[in-house]
Chains A and B, each alone.
Chain A
Amino acid sequence: MVAIRPAQASDLPAISALDARLTGLDKPEYWQEMLAPERHFLVAETDTGVLAGFIAGEVRAWEFGQPAAGWVFAIQIDPKVRQRGVGSELFEALVTRFKKEGVTRVRTLVDRKDHLILSFFRAQGMVAGPSLQLDLDLA
């Protein structure tokens, strides 16, 4: 139902707009940076060529002292096409690319109050990782 392919510069306006609509934060420069060659930035589009969702990630070695792992930085699915497996297809496509780079682990960071995205990653089989994120308010 959707086709998965690498994102191109021409996809950025639609990606930025979908993300801004869902998060309330407009960050076009961030999405521009995701097009860097060492990153995996994939889009899912419907058969009429409309953006259904996207996923971005990268393999990073020795991040926080851990051996190389694929990191998922972002995933967004248009609410109109949710519950149809688009997110799972994007996740699988990214994992396939990570495996080709030789890593055996995929990681992400999620807000613990964001139960929707937490449930999505759980449904992909992800569990709590070996690290705990710590935080300090400097304000």
Chain B
Amino acid sequence: MKLQTGTRLGLYAALELARDPERTLSAADLAERFGVSSHHLAKVLRTLGAAGLVRGGRGAAGGYRFTGNRRRTTLMDIVALFEPAPGQRAKEPGEDTDIGGALQRVLLEIDEIAEATLRSISLETMLKPRR
């Protein structure tokens, strides 16, 4: 499974900040840590901010900190901020044919399993040392 770049950066940023909610990190700090573009990360942080998961960021050097609930926020909550919702996508050509319909059922099954996985893992669980 491949996530869009924004989604991946959103997960990186939310998880890194959630590691210690007292700590503030700038887009540049986070970009350096993960070896990605700070411009792209700044945009991602604004999206996380609008969702109430992080706060801060005055200017380029402004720091962000995590303001969400680690136990209640799941990977799916973050993925959903950056990826189109499964029910919202436009109809593909050929979907109304029997083959198109059969293919659609297979893809839906895969989506449902992926969603169950992402929705069942909280940031808290992700940040816990593995047993």
Is A112's CB under 8 angstroms from B128's CB? no
Secondary structure of the B contact surface, majority rule: helix
Give min CB distance, A107 to chain B, whole Å: 15
Secondary structure of the A contact surface, majority rule: helix
Q: How large is the interface on B (under 10, 10 to 19, 20 to 34, 35 or more residues)?
A: 10 to 19
Determine which residue in B113, B120, B130 has the highest number of CB atoms from chain A within 10 A of its CB, and name it: B120
Is B130's CB under 8 angstroms from A118's CB? no
Determine which residue in A115, A122, A125 has the highest number of CB atoms from chain B within 10 A of its CB, and name it: A122
CB-defined interface of A111-127 with B at 8 Å, one 1/0 digit per residue?
01101001101111100
Q: How large is the interface on A (under 10, 10 to 19, 20 to 34, 35 or more residues)?
A: 10 to 19
Given the known interface contacts A119-B74, A125-B131, the answer about A113 and B116 at a Cβ–Cβ threshold of 8 Å is yes
Q: Does A128 contact B (CB under 8 A)?
A: yes
CB-defined interface of B96-131 with A at 8 Å, one 1/0 digit per residue?
000000000000000011001101111011001011
**Chain A positions near chain B (C-beta within 8 angstroms):** 112-113, 115, 118-119, 121-125, 128
The 10 closest A-B pairs by CB, nearest first: A118-B120, A112-B116, A125-B131, A119-B120, A123-B125, A115-B119, A122-B120, A122-B125, A122-B121, A115-B120
